[in-house]
Amino acid sequence: MYRLLSGNTVAGPVNNLITIQNGGGKGGDAGAAGAGGAGTEGKYINMRTLTGNRKWMAGGQAGQPGSAGKPGRDGVKGQALIQQDLRDRMDAMIQTQSAQVAALKDQLVTRLAEEKRQVEAAAAQAISALELQVTALKTNMEGTANQSSVDESITSMQQTLQQQSARIDELSAKLEQAMQVMDARMDTLADEVKGLNKRFDELPSTETSQ
């Protein structure tokens, strides 16, 4: 028989996942000696003798006790049968890991798409703000505005540009970090699934000697 062991990961060998008990059975004790058979009873038989027509025939003696039985032999060590339910469990484990890989992939793709959308939105916002400030600066320069007003507009444009640039850099860094995490996690799950597939393929279809 076999039983699954807990507390082991799919990365370990198969003998860390199951334990097999297939030792031979212990031989039985020797049987007790049988009692000797009882002798036959004595009897008279018809026979002409000097004293009459009957003669006494003595009975048989009791039999000797039998010999004690020999101890039974120990059973032969059995074979470890890989039952179908074990293979089904391994197959279910592989399918679960594959489903987790697919779910994680979808989750990370959605997350990356959102990060990309935020970067694009921040860039569009920065461009729009700069366009408005450029238009305002042109208006001030073409009108009667003094040099102080023009300088204030230029300074405001520079500050806005720096803020938007910092925001874009921050979102881009988050996007790159998320991509690195996704790649590492996908590689780990892919290796686990490959390991399960390899060990599942190595399982015998019927039995293996232990």
Please choose, from the candidates 2, 204, 208, 9, the residue with its C-alpha nearest in 3D space to the C-alpha of residue 93: 9
Residue 127 scores a pLDDT above 50 = yes
Mean pLDDT calculated for residue range 89-102:
72
Q: For 75, what's the count of Cα atoms within 13 Å in the CB-facing half-sphere? A: 9
Please choose, from the candidates 205, 202, 189, the residue with its C-alpha nearest in 3D space to the C-alpha of residue 9: 189
Residues 6+ apart with CB under 8 A from 61: 39
Q: What is the pLDDT of residue 112?
A: 75
Q: What is the pLDDT of residue 110?
A: 81
Residue 210 scores a pLDDT above 60 = no
Mean pLDDT calculated for residue range 32-38:
75
Say which residue the tokens 């060590």 belong to.
77
Question: For residue 2, what are the β-bridge partners?
Answer: 20
Please choose, from the candidates 80, 124, 104, the residue with its C-alpha nearest in 3D space to the C-alpha of residue 188: 104
Q: How far apart are CA 185 and CA 108, in angstroms?
A: 10
- Give the pLDDT confidence of 138-161 residue by residue, as tens digits: 666 665 555 666 667 667 777 777
Q: What is the pLDDT of residue 86?
A: 61
Q: What is the pTM of this model?
A: 0.33
The answer to whether 171 and 118 have CB atoms below 8 angstroms apart is: yes
Residue 170 scores a pLDDT above 60 = yes
Q: How far apart are CA 161 and CA 5, in angstroms?
A: 61
Domain ranges of the chain: 84-202
Q: What is the pLDDT of residue 184?
A: 78
Name the most confidently modeled range: 41-50, 133-142, 187-196.
Answer: 41-50
Split at pLDDT 50, 70, 90, the class of 2 is very low
Local structure of 184: helix, strand or coil: helix
Q: What is the pLDDT of residue 208?
A: 41
Residue 49 scores a pLDDT above 60 = yes
Q: Interior CA angle at 160 toward 158 and 165, to 5°? A: 95
Q: What is the pLDDT of residue 194?
A: 72
